[in-house]
Structures are given as structure tokens and as C-alpha cells.
Chains A and B, each alone.
Chain A
Amino acid sequence: DIQMTQSPSSLSASVGDRVTITCRASQSISSYLNWYQQKPGKAPKLLIYAASSLQSGVPSRFSGSGSGTDFTLAIGSLQPEDFATYYCQQSYSFPYSFGQGTKLESK
């Protein structure tokens, strides 16, 4: 089974900051990597798919990169609505798996 590891587990930042979150797979997953955003009490929402493709309707300050085992989610200029928890997820092989999440908090 493929293990996904995110870092950091939590992150404090301010509006206007640029932040990056990393995700590492325990084996190569090519570009079968997706990112989701979840706000408290809500269902997750797809942000980035296939490592670097922006989901329709998602602001362009979000971007993804990477392939193989190492991936990055970047938020270009934090907005108040971006404070949430972010998860990476591999769809290379079943059983699918998520990273443990990165909680982005306001400093």
C-alpha cells in the first residue's frame, strides 16, 4: 500500500503570505496526486488534480507541482478564506490514500 506523508502538519501564516505544503509518497505515483481543501464542518473540496491542474473555479493563487514521489501545493498570496486544512491524495493504485493533513492557521 502507498503511504502519503505531508509536511508540515500545521502552519501559521498571515494574509498575503506565500505558503507551501509538501506531500511525499512512499513509492512513485507518477502524477496521480490530488489536493483537497477542507473547512471545519464541511466536506472536502477538490483544488488541484493530476499534480498540477487547477480545478475549475479555484483561484489561480493555488498551484501544484511535482511528480514521482515529491509534490508541493503552493498558495501565492493567502486570503482569509484560505485558512483551512489541506490534504493530498494518491490515485495511482488501490487502496487510495490521503496524507494526514496540514492545518493552515492565521498567525
Chain B
Amino acid sequence: QVQLVESGGGVVQPGRSLRLSCAASGITFSAYAMHWVRQAPGKGLEWVAFILYDGSNKYYADSVKGRFTISRDNSKNTLYLQMNSLRAEDTAVYYCARDRLSGSGNRVFDPWGQGTLVTVSS
């Protein structure tokens, strides 16, 4: 079955950088677009970034644009999120999710990884 496993979370000081990884198995990773979604402690879900199956197209939430970079290595079945200039408000559980097209262009997040916690604190 499809499995997505995030890693790379931890405690980091404001202004520093961190790179998250999401290892995929059980799917033809190179055939799917992918997303990052985050959830601050006790809060709702916030979409963060999207990358097309071949990396040719990317979109970002305004809150992370210019600071975060989504990328992928299809030879390693791995998705990345490079996070620079981290702020306290970036503290969250970060989930990767496979993008799946359903019917007439509707995209869904399915499935999701288990998440990795990023804490930005001095």
C-alpha cells in the first residue's frame, strides 16, 4: 500500500533553516504531484506548497513564499521542503500528501504521511 514517511523535523532557532523529507513507497512516485500541508499546535490545516510530478510547476502559500522551496528527487522517491528564515509562526506538524486527480480536474490529498513536528524557538 501507499506509504509516505516524513522526517527532518526538530527544534530550530528563529531565522535558521531546516529541510524536511518525505519518502514514498508503494506508488510510482514520479507519476504524482505532491503537497505539503501544515498544522500549528491546536489549530487547523494550512496548505503550504505543491509540486507537479516532474517538478516543472510549483505553487506556494503566501505565508511561505520566498522562504520555503518544494522540490523532489524522483530517482529517490523523495519529496523535500527547504525552509529558510524560519519564524515562530512556522511551528507546526508538517504533512506530505499525494495529489490525486479525481474526475474533472478536482485534486485531493490522499493519502497523507504521519507528519513531522517543526518547532521554531530560541
Q: Which chain A residues have a beta carbon within 8 Å of chain B's beta carbons? A: 1, 31-32, 34, 36, 38, 43-46, 49-50, 53, 55, 87, 89, 91, 94-101
A34 to B45 alpha-carbon distance, docked (Å): 13
- Contact with A91, one of B45, B95, B106 (Cβ below 8 angstroms): B106
B115 touches A94 (CB 8 A): no
- Flag if B62 contacts A46 (CB, 8 Å): no
Note all chain B residues with C-beta closer than 8 A to A97.
47
Interface residues in B24-67 (C-beta closer than 8 Å to A): 35, 44-47, 50, 59-62
Given contacts A95-B62, A99-B44, could you give 8 more A-B pairs where the C-beta distance is less than 8 Å? A45-B111, A49-B108, A50-B106, A87-B44, A87-B45, A91-B107, A95-B60, A96-B35
Is the beta-carbon distance between B95 and A43 smaller than 8 angstroms? yes
Q: A32-B106, A49-B102 are in contact. Are A96 and B44 (CB under 8 A)?
A: no
Residue contacts A-B, CB under 8 angstroms, 8 given: A36-B109, A43-B114, A44-B109, A46-B109, A49-B108, A50-B103, A53-B102, A94-B59
Contacts of A43 in B (CB 8 A): 95, 111-115
Task: Let me know if B89 is at the binding interface, CB within 8 A.
Answer: no
CB pair A91–B50 under 8 Å, yes or no, is no
How many interface residues does chain B have, given as a range?
20 to 34
Q: Indicate whether B104 reaches chain A with its CB closer than 8 angstroms.
A: yes
CB neighbours of A87 from chain B (8 A): 44-45
B108 touches A91 (CB 8 A): yes
Known: A49-B102, A98-B47. A55 touches B110 (CB 8 A): yes
Is B108 within 8 A of A95, CB to CB? no
Please report the C-alpha to C-alpha distance between residue A31 and residue B108 in the assembled complex, in whole angstroms: 12
Q: Which residue in chain A gives the minimum CB-CB distance to B109?
A: A46
- B102 and A98: CB pair below 8 A? no
The CA-CA distance from A64 to B47 in the complex, in Å, is: 22
B104–A50 CB distance below 8 A: yes
B106 and A100 contact, CB distance less than 8 A: no
Are A98 and B59 interface neighbours, CB within 8 A? no
| Cα separation A53 to B103 with both chains bound (whole Å) | 10
Across the interface, which residues of B come within 8 angstroms of A96, CB to CB?
35, 47, 50, 107
Assess the B62–A1 pair: CB atoms within 8 A. yes
